[in-house]
């Protein structure tokens, strides 16, 4: 590692200590990677790419020392809960659609079956008008 890399790591560690102590000097003091990068005076992508181990150590310290869940994890958990609800709603909708498909297939089969042969008048109740033909022909 070169000297610039070592200096960045030292500044990041010092920034971690300041943020966790509540003594932010160059950032808003929130316990996020953005605030850590601002506090350390390094670019956020440098922190995420070159110093990912320090980012992970920071979040671990946030979890252990402050008993808080990092903001990114809170947002992620909220998104996961929202997606689980969406999946549940979609499963319910798919089940409803499957039932509709089954019912429509059965109705279609009944209608197609009835079109094959002309209606055959079957025995009608004695009080039925003479212009009534039964819907289902009697099979004898």
Q: b or e along 105-133 (b: 16 or more beta carbons within 10 Å of the residue's beta carbon)?
A: eeeeeeeeeeeeeeeeeeeeeeeeeeeee
Read off the pLDDT of residues 5-43 as tens digits, 9 standing for 90 and up: 899 999 999 999 999 888 888 888 888 889 999 999 999
Q: Does residue 118 register a pLDDT over 90?
A: no
State pTM to two decimals.
0.51
* CA atoms of 44 and 62, how far apart (whole Å): 18
* CA atoms of 90 and 104, how far apart (whole Å): 21
């Amino acid at each position: 590692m070169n000297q610039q890399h070592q200096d960045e790591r030292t500044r990041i560690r010092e920034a971690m200590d300041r943020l966790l102590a509540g003594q932010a000097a160059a950032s808003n003091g929130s316990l996020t990677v953005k605030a850590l990068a601002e506090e350390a005076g390094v670019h956020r992508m440098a922190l995420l790419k070159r110093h990912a181990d320090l980012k992970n150590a920071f979040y671990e310290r946030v979890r252990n020392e402050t008993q808080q869940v990092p903001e990114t994890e809170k947002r992620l958990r909220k998104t996961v809960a929202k997606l689980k609800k969406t999946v549940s709603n979609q499963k319910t909708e798919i089940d409803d659609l499957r039932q509709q498909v089954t019912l429509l297939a059965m109705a279609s089969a009944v209608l197609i079956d009835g079109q094959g042969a002309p209606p055959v008048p079957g025995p009608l109740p004695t009080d039925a008008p003479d212009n009534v033909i039964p819907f289902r022909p009697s099979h004898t």
